[in-house]
Structures are given as C-alpha cells and as structure tokens.
Chains A and B, each alone.
Chain A
Amino acid sequence: QVQLVQSGAEVKKPGASVKVSCKASGYSFTSYYVHWFRQAPGEGLEWMGQINPSGGSPNYAQKFRGRVALTAETSTSTVYMEVNGLRSEDTAIYLCARDVGVVPGRDYFDHWGQGTLVTVSS
C-alpha cells in the first residue's frame, strides 16, 4: 500500500535550518509529484511547494521562494524539505503528500505523511 513516512520532530533555534524527510513506498516514486504543506498549531493548511521526483525544478509558493528547498533522492524514494532562517512563526506541523494523479499531476492530494512537528524557540 502507498505510504509516506516522515522524519521525527525537531526543535530549532531562530535563524537555524531544518531538513525534513518523506520516504515513499508502495508506488512508482518517479510517477507522482510530492507536495509539502504546513499547519500552524490550531490553524489551517498552507501549501509550500511541489517537486517532481523524476527531475525538473521544484515549484514553490511565492511566500516560501528563497527560503525553502525541495529535493528528491530516487535511490531511496525520499523527498526532502529544507527551511532556512527559521523564525518562531515557522513553528508548525510540516506534511508531505502525494499528488492524486501521475505526472504532470492534478494538484489534489490522496496520500499523506504523518506530519513532522518543527518547533522554533530560543
């Protein structure tokens, strides 16, 4: 079955970077885009960007361009999301999700990781 398993919780100081992983299994890794989202405590969902694991440049939401980097490692079927220059307002649960359709995708999301809590605190 399709599974996305994310790395564990992180605590970071302001100004630091964090890198979260999302390991995929149960499907053809290079056939589906993977998207990243975040959800601040008690808040709604915010789309951060997407990556085509088979290659090409990631696509980022305007708000995160220049501060977020998505990469994919086909040998391990893993997608990584790195956020630089962390601020307290970046404290959130970060989630990866698979697109519902094969590349070029449909921009709907049918399988999700369990989420990774990133806490930014001095």
Chain B
Amino acid sequence: DIVLTQSPVTLSLSPGERATLSCRASQSVRRYLAWYQQKAGQAPRLLIYDASTRATGIPARFSGSGSGTDFTLTISSLEPEDFAVYYCQQRDTSITFGQGTRLEIK
C-alpha cells in the first residue's frame, strides 16, 4: 500500500494566519491526491482533488499544490471554522489516507 505521511501532526495558529499542511507519499501518486477536512463528530468534507482542483462550494482561501510524492494544502487566511483535522488521500494505487494533521487555535 502507498503510505501517506502528513506533517506536522499538530499545527497551532491564530485566525488570520496562513496555514501550510504537507502530505508526502511513499511512491509517486502523480496528481491523484485529495484533501479533506473533518470536524469532531462529523463526516469528512472534500476540499481539493487532483492535487489542486477545489471541490464544489469550497472557498478560494483553500488551495492545493504538488505532484509525484510531495503535496501541500494552503489555507491563506484562517477563519474560525477552519480549525479541524485535515486528511490527504491518494487514489493512484488503491485508496489510502494520511494519518491527519490537527489544526488548532493558538
């Protein structure tokens, strides 16, 4: 299985700051990578797919980049509702998820 390693495990920032989350794959996944946001007690929400395409209804402050083995999710200016756990997911070979990055309020 392709292993996705997310960093950092926890990111502490304040509203208005820029967040940069990383996802590294154990082998190339080309651009077949997505990002999800999950809040406590809720199902995941698709943010980005194919590395950089925003899903329907996702605000422009969320952006994705990368290809091959290294990917980044950027939130340009954090809103209070953005504090949550973020997962990356690859679909190049089967389907696997990273272990998540917890974005918490500083």
Contact = CB atoms under 8 A, between A and B. Distances in A.
A61 interface: yes
Interface residues of A, number: 19
A108 B34 contact: yes
Contacts, number: 49
A45 B56 CA distance: 22
B56 to A, nearest CB: 7
Contact of A100 (B32, B43, B46, B99): B46
- Interface size class, chain B: 20 to 34
A108 B89 contact: yes
Nearest to B48: A108
Interface stretch (B16-24, B60-68, B90-98): B90-98
16 contacts: A44-B87, A45-B87, A47-B94, A47-B96, A61-B94, A62-B1, A62-B94, A97-B43, A97-B44, A100-B55, A107-B91, A108-B34, A108-B46, A110-B56, A112-B45, A115-B43
A46 B97 contact: yes
Nearest to B4: A44
A113 B95 contact: no
Nearest to B6: A44
Interface in B8-55: 32, 34, 36, 43-46, 49-50, 55
Nearest to B92: A107
Interface string B57-92: 000000000000000000000000000000101010
Interface of A: 35, 44-47, 61-62, 95, 97, 100, 106-110, 112-115
B49 A100 contact: yes
Contacts of A107: 32, 91, 95
